[in-house]
Amino acid sequence: MSTILLVEDEPNFGAVLRDYLQMNGHVATLVRDGAEGWDAFRAGTFDLCILDVMMPKVDGFALAKRIREADPAQPIMFLTARHQQMDKNEGLRIGADDYLTKPFDSEELLLRISAILKRSQGRQARTAPQEDLYFASFHFSPKVHSLSSAAGEERLSPKESELLELLLAHKNDLLSREFALQQLWGDDNYFNARSMDVFISKLRKRLKSDDRVKIDNIHGKGFSLLVEGE
Protein backbone atom coordinates (compact mmCIF):
# COMPACT_ATOMS: atom_id res chain seq x y z
CA MET A 1 0.00 0.00 0.00
CA SER A 2 1.56 3.29 -1.11
CA THR A 3 1.18 6.73 0.46
CA ILE A 4 0.43 9.64 -1.86
CA LEU A 5 0.41 13.38 -1.18
CA LEU A 6 -2.17 14.97 -3.49
CA VAL A 7 -1.97 18.76 -3.77
CA GLU A 8 -4.97 20.04 -5.75
CA ASP A 9 -6.75 23.37 -5.29
CA GLU A 10 -10.02 22.44 -7.09
CA PRO A 11 -12.09 20.97 -4.22
CA ASN A 12 -14.46 18.69 -6.13
CA PHE A 13 -11.82 17.28 -8.47
CA GLY A 14 -9.38 16.82 -5.59
CA ALA A 15 -11.92 14.92 -3.49
CA VAL A 16 -12.92 12.67 -6.39
CA LEU A 17 -9.28 11.93 -7.24
CA ARG A 18 -8.40 11.22 -3.60
CA ASP A 19 -11.33 8.80 -3.27
CA TYR A 20 -10.40 7.11 -6.57
CA LEU A 21 -6.81 6.60 -5.43
CA GLN A 22 -7.98 5.15 -2.12
CA MET A 23 -10.45 2.84 -3.87
CA ASN A 24 -7.45 1.48 -5.80
CA GLY A 25 -5.28 0.64 -2.82
CA HIS A 26 -3.42 3.88 -2.11
CA VAL A 27 -3.46 6.02 1.03
CA ALA A 28 -4.01 9.57 -0.25
CA THR A 29 -3.63 12.80 1.71
CA LEU A 30 -5.38 15.74 0.02
CA VAL A 31 -4.40 19.37 0.65
CA ARG A 32 -5.68 22.48 -1.13
CA ASP A 33 -2.66 24.63 -2.01
CA GLY A 34 1.12 24.67 -2.24
CA ALA A 35 1.68 26.10 1.24
CA GLU A 36 -0.42 23.33 2.82
CA GLY A 37 1.37 20.85 0.56
CA TRP A 38 4.75 21.88 1.92
CA ASP A 39 3.53 21.57 5.52
CA ALA A 40 2.06 18.13 4.80
CA PHE A 41 5.25 16.96 3.08
CA ARG A 42 7.40 17.99 6.06
CA ALA A 43 5.00 16.30 8.48
CA GLY A 44 4.70 12.95 6.69
CA THR A 45 6.41 10.35 4.54
CA PHE A 46 5.09 9.78 1.03
CA ASP A 47 5.90 7.33 -1.75
CA LEU A 48 4.68 9.85 -4.36
CA CYS A 49 3.71 13.53 -4.52
CA ILE A 50 1.06 14.46 -7.11
CA LEU A 51 1.06 18.23 -7.60
CA ASP A 52 -1.28 20.48 -9.53
CA VAL A 53 0.71 23.19 -11.29
CA MET A 54 -1.67 26.16 -11.00
CA MET A 55 -2.30 26.75 -7.29
CA PRO A 56 -2.61 29.75 -4.95
CA LYS A 57 0.09 30.80 -2.46
CA VAL A 58 2.76 28.41 -3.79
CA ASP A 59 2.43 26.91 -7.27
CA GLY A 60 3.28 23.32 -8.12
CA PHE A 61 6.67 24.09 -9.66
CA ALA A 62 7.80 26.11 -6.63
CA LEU A 63 6.56 23.38 -4.28
CA ALA A 64 8.39 20.71 -6.29
CA LYS A 65 11.64 22.66 -6.04
CA ARG A 66 11.28 22.85 -2.24
CA ILE A 67 10.55 19.13 -2.08
CA ARG A 68 13.53 18.32 -4.31
CA GLU A 69 15.82 20.39 -2.07
CA ALA A 70 14.59 18.51 1.01
CA ASP A 71 14.64 15.06 -0.64
CA PRO A 72 16.22 14.76 -4.10
CA ALA A 73 14.90 11.20 -4.50
CA GLN A 74 11.23 12.00 -3.81
CA PRO A 75 9.04 10.84 -6.74
CA ILE A 76 6.90 13.69 -8.14
CA MET A 77 4.11 13.79 -10.74
CA PHE A 78 2.57 17.02 -12.10
CA LEU A 79 -1.08 17.46 -13.03
CA THR A 80 -2.06 20.48 -15.11
CA ALA A 81 -4.83 21.78 -17.31
CA ARG A 82 -2.30 23.73 -19.37
CA HIS A 83 -0.90 22.36 -22.61
CA GLN A 84 2.04 24.71 -23.19
CA GLN A 85 5.35 23.04 -23.98
CA MET A 86 7.17 25.52 -21.71
CA ASP A 87 5.29 24.09 -18.72
CA LYS A 88 6.37 20.57 -19.62
CA ASN A 89 9.94 21.77 -20.06
CA GLU A 90 9.88 23.39 -16.63
CA GLY A 91 8.62 20.14 -15.13
CA LEU A 92 11.47 18.29 -16.80
CA ARG A 93 14.03 20.80 -15.54
CA ILE A 94 12.79 20.31 -11.99
CA GLY A 95 13.15 16.58 -12.44
CA ALA A 96 9.54 15.38 -12.37
CA ASP A 97 8.98 11.66 -12.78
CA ASP A 98 5.89 12.23 -14.92
CA TYR A 99 3.53 14.92 -16.20
CA LEU A 100 -0.17 14.38 -16.94
CA THR A 101 -2.42 16.94 -18.63
CA LYS A 102 -6.07 17.28 -17.60
CA PRO A 103 -8.44 15.85 -18.60
CA PHE A 104 -6.84 12.42 -18.36
CA ASP A 105 -7.97 8.83 -18.32
CA SER A 106 -8.18 7.48 -14.77
CA GLU A 107 -6.77 4.10 -15.81
CA GLU A 108 -3.78 5.84 -17.39
CA LEU A 109 -3.16 7.69 -14.12
CA LEU A 110 -3.04 4.41 -12.19
CA LEU A 111 -0.65 2.88 -14.72
CA ARG A 112 1.66 5.90 -14.53
CA ILE A 113 1.60 5.85 -10.73
CA SER A 114 2.42 2.13 -10.77
CA ALA A 115 5.38 2.74 -13.11
CA ILE A 116 6.77 5.54 -10.93
CA LEU A 117 6.48 3.47 -7.75
CA LYS A 118 8.09 0.48 -9.44
CA ARG A 119 11.06 2.59 -10.55
CA SER A 120 11.38 4.13 -7.10
CA GLN A 121 11.34 0.74 -5.39
CA GLY A 122 13.94 -0.51 -7.84
CA ARG A 123 16.27 2.35 -6.90
CA GLN A 124 15.78 1.69 -3.19
CA ALA A 125 16.52 -2.02 -3.71
CA ARG A 126 20.04 -1.27 -4.93
CA THR A 127 22.04 -2.24 -1.87
CA ALA A 128 25.52 -2.35 -3.39
CA PRO A 129 26.41 0.78 -5.39
CA GLN A 130 29.64 0.72 -7.35
CA GLU A 131 32.85 1.76 -5.71
CA ASP A 132 34.25 5.20 -6.54
CA LEU A 133 35.10 5.69 -10.20
CA TYR A 134 37.91 7.75 -11.74
CA PHE A 135 38.03 9.05 -15.32
CA ALA A 136 40.21 11.82 -16.76
CA SER A 137 40.39 14.41 -13.94
CA PHE A 138 37.11 13.35 -12.32
CA HIS A 139 36.35 11.39 -9.18
CA PHE A 140 32.80 10.06 -9.10
CA SER A 141 31.24 8.52 -5.99
CA PRO A 142 27.88 6.87 -6.82
CA LYS A 143 27.20 6.16 -3.13
CA VAL A 144 26.93 9.84 -2.23
CA HIS A 145 26.15 11.24 -5.73
CA SER A 146 29.35 13.28 -5.73
CA LEU A 147 31.45 14.39 -8.73
CA SER A 148 34.82 16.00 -7.97
CA SER A 149 37.61 17.52 -10.04
CA ALA A 150 40.16 20.30 -9.77
CA ALA A 151 37.25 22.71 -10.34
CA GLY A 152 35.59 21.56 -7.11
CA GLU A 153 32.95 19.13 -5.90
CA GLU A 154 29.36 18.95 -7.14
CA ARG A 155 26.46 17.00 -5.70
CA LEU A 156 24.44 15.21 -8.37
CA SER A 157 20.75 14.40 -8.24
CA PRO A 158 20.00 10.67 -7.91
CA LYS A 159 18.93 10.49 -11.56
CA GLU A 160 22.08 12.28 -12.77
CA SER A 161 24.18 9.90 -10.70
CA GLU A 162 22.43 6.83 -12.10
CA LEU A 163 22.79 8.10 -15.67
CA LEU A 164 26.49 8.92 -15.25
CA GLU A 165 27.08 5.49 -13.73
CA LEU A 166 25.41 3.87 -16.74
CA LEU A 167 27.40 6.01 -19.19
CA LEU A 168 30.64 5.03 -17.44
CA ALA A 169 29.67 1.36 -17.64
CA HIS A 170 29.59 1.90 -21.44
CA LYS A 171 32.57 4.30 -21.57
CA ASN A 172 33.86 4.89 -25.13
CA ASP A 173 31.01 2.75 -26.42
CA LEU A 174 27.36 3.22 -27.36
CA LEU A 175 24.74 3.48 -24.63
CA SER A 176 21.47 2.70 -26.35
CA ARG A 177 18.74 5.27 -25.71
CA GLU A 178 16.11 2.54 -25.33
CA PHE A 179 18.28 0.55 -22.89
CA ALA A 180 18.98 3.62 -20.72
CA LEU A 181 15.31 4.59 -20.63
CA GLN A 182 14.22 1.10 -19.64
CA GLN A 183 16.95 0.79 -17.01
CA LEU A 184 16.47 4.18 -15.34
CA TRP A 185 12.90 5.24 -16.20
CA GLY A 186 11.21 1.90 -16.80
CA ASP A 187 9.63 3.09 -20.06
CA ASP A 188 10.93 4.64 -23.29
CA ASN A 189 7.94 6.96 -23.83
CA TYR A 190 8.25 10.54 -25.11
CA PHE A 191 8.14 12.20 -21.69
CA ASN A 192 10.91 9.99 -20.30
CA ALA A 193 13.02 10.50 -23.43
CA ARG A 194 12.76 14.27 -23.03
CA SER A 195 13.61 13.93 -19.36
CA MET A 196 16.75 11.94 -20.18
CA ASP A 197 17.82 14.60 -22.68
CA VAL A 198 17.58 17.19 -19.90
CA PHE A 199 19.79 15.10 -17.61
CA ILE A 200 22.30 14.49 -20.42
CA SER A 201 22.52 18.27 -20.87
CA LYS A 202 23.12 18.73 -17.14
CA LEU A 203 25.90 16.15 -17.15
CA ARG A 204 27.56 17.81 -20.15
CA LYS A 205 27.73 21.07 -18.19
CA ARG A 206 29.22 19.30 -15.18
CA LEU A 207 31.90 17.61 -17.30
CA LYS A 208 32.90 20.61 -19.43
CA SER A 209 35.83 21.54 -17.13
CA ASP A 210 37.88 18.74 -18.73
CA ASP A 211 38.03 18.82 -22.53
CA ARG A 212 39.19 15.19 -22.59
CA VAL A 213 35.64 14.16 -21.67
CA LYS A 214 32.52 14.61 -23.75
CA ILE A 215 29.12 13.01 -24.22
CA ASP A 216 28.38 12.43 -27.90
CA ASN A 217 24.83 12.14 -29.20
CA ILE A 218 24.69 9.23 -31.66
CA HIS A 219 21.68 10.27 -33.75
CA GLY A 220 18.83 7.81 -33.56
CA LYS A 221 20.80 5.37 -31.41
CA GLY A 222 21.87 6.84 -28.08
CA PHE A 223 24.90 8.38 -26.36
CA SER A 224 28.57 7.73 -25.87
CA LEU A 225 30.72 9.01 -23.00
CA LEU A 226 34.11 9.51 -24.64
CA VAL A 227 37.21 9.78 -22.43
CA GLU A 228 40.41 10.60 -24.32
CA GLY A 229 43.30 8.27 -23.50
CA GLU A 230 41.18 5.61 -21.78
DSSP string, the chain: --EEEEE-S-HHHHHHHHHHHHHTT-EEEEESSHHHHHHHHHHS--SEEEEESS-SSS-HHHHHHHHHHH-TT--EEEEES---HHHHHHHHHHT-SEEEESS--HHHHHHHHHHHHHHHHHHHT---PPPPEEETTEEEETTTTEEEETTEEEEPPHHHHHHHHHHHHTTTS-EEHHHHHHHHTS---HHHHHHHHHHHHHHHHHHTT-TTEEEEEETTTEEEEEETT-
Length of the chain counted residue by residue = 230
Q: What is the reported pLDDT for 21?
A: 96
- The most distant pair of C-alpha atoms in the chain lies apart, rounded to whole Å, by 61
pLDDT computed for residue 186 by the predictor = 74
Give the residues of the chain that fall short of pLDDT 70.
82-88, 121-130
pTM beyond 0.75, yes or no: no
Spatial distance between the Cα atoms of 179 and 183, rounded to a whole number of angstroms: 6
